[in-house]
Structure 1
């Protein structure tokens, strides 16, 4: 009875409202996540690998939020540039608008065709996206994720046979995830997880991460013995590790913008 009484008199959990607003910067348009949070006491603008976020108290008007964004455009552009690094990063892909898709360290032009089913294919001209006339944003996001998963599995399938003979066992299975910080992981049962953002960067860096996780099948640690296994299979691993340290946040940010999702791990 006491628990039921406490539940009845307890205040309702605060409802956080989310939507997006378009903001024009000097060289591109971006989507800013607008969050109305009952716990917020003031307007706040933040930037991370998922993009820009405007947090607003419930009492703040939409007009005040717009003015706040405009007043901080320069700061926002600087933060996004710092997050993006110096590599290639395409503007977010818009439904049925011309654009570019990052893949394996390059930007591929995108063209659209109407079709019975939603699908994406690479050809001599870039990436062709076929969608039914009624298909919307959600269908595009699903197609993008399936496209990058297919490309990721193709790369792993190309490299894996080269390394399997020198291993005591093969990975139990492969899971592809959108990760916030890690590039890969190996579970005790031998299940391997890889970050989808790897396929956006240069292939040699992706291959290094694969080798790194495969070597954990031999050494479940980061001891000198582990790095010796990596070195024996991938002598230039340090260059690829440095590349990911410099370009990693940009790659993860780009994937988050394309898929508009939160990290899973």
Structure 2
């Protein structure tokens, strides 16, 4: 839904079984209003109007952060992230796997880069991170879930568009494959964040208190992701 009274602020509304409404700026700069199913459109417009300054301020900050987005090229020596470290790219011919991390370098099969089709090279990185993330992130979920007192139904790593992770009403967790580019401490924060949503769907004080119980330093990790998240890309 687009705003009517707030014509200068474009936003979308996602309704779900939640108690309160809030506004978030997505990673692609979209303004998203997450609202209870029963709340009328007029109340949502009132909320957007009341948060007008906050929305402008955060959109300006989003533009500043994304102005420094790294545009990587698939050529020898380019740096690509994995678990918070940058590894130089090496194009190789004698390799069956599309992408390997060995001897301190990301080894990409040369034919994927020589085609000039960026999507083929990107797919190699995406599939690599999904394969490694499926094991590592599951381990971290298994570690933190008992501390939070929850039992996820399913865990998968995949493309999630502009979300780092999601928690479905049926207890399934999904994580963006790009999480694997962040340091382990940040991955842990994303895991804890989603697990705490089993108790609280909203980002209320009760939710953040739940996060704080398990991860008192979550604020620093949340801030790191806000500042550096745009650079986690291939």
The verdict on a shared fold, with TM-score over 0.5 as the criterion, is yes
User: C-alpha deviations, 1:218-264, integer Å up to 9, x for none?
Assistant: 2333333322221121111011111122222333xxx2xx3xxxxxx
Match of 2:151 among 169, 172, 187: 169
1:92 to 52, 55, 72: 72
CA distance 1:140–1:134, change in 2 (3 Å): closer
Structure 1 residues not aligned, in runs of 5+: 1-47, 51-79, 259-265
- Cα 1:83–1:113 shift into 2, 3 Å: same
With over 3 angstroms needed to count, the CA separation of the structure-2 counterparts of 1:84 and 1:103, relative to structure 1, is: farther
* Poorly superposed stretches of 4+, deviation over 6 Å: none
Q: How many residues align?
A: 173
Alignment of 1:31-180 (within 5 A): 83-85=66-68, 91-94=71-74, 97-115=76-94, 117-131=96-110, 136=115, 137=117, 138-166=119-147, 167-180=149-162
The normalised TM-score by structure 1 is 0.55
RMSD across aligned C-alpha pairs, in angstroms? Answer: 3.1
Distance 2:221 2:113 in 1: 43
1:243 corresponds to which of 218, 221, 224: 224
Rg larger in structure: 1
Q: Are 2:155 and 2:172, in contact at CA under 8 Å, matched by a contact in 1? A: yes
Q: 1:161 to 1:82 in 2, by over 3 A?
A: closer
Work out which of the residue numbers 189, 205, 210 in structure 2 matches 1:229.
210
Which one is further off, 230-239 or 200-209? Answer: 200-209
The correspondence of residues 171-250 of structure 1 with structure 2, limited to 5 A, is: 171-180=153-162, 182-250=163-231
Q: TM-score, length-normalised on structure 2?
A: 0.62
In structure 1, how many angstroms separate the alpha carbons of the residues matched to 2:213 and 2:139?
19
Deviation string 1:114-162 (CA, Å, 9 cap, x unpaired) is: 1363421212332122355897334322211101212322430331221
Residue segments in structure 2 that go unaligned for 5+ positions in a row: 1-26, 30-62
CA pair 169-158 structure 1, distance change in 2 beyond 3 A: closer
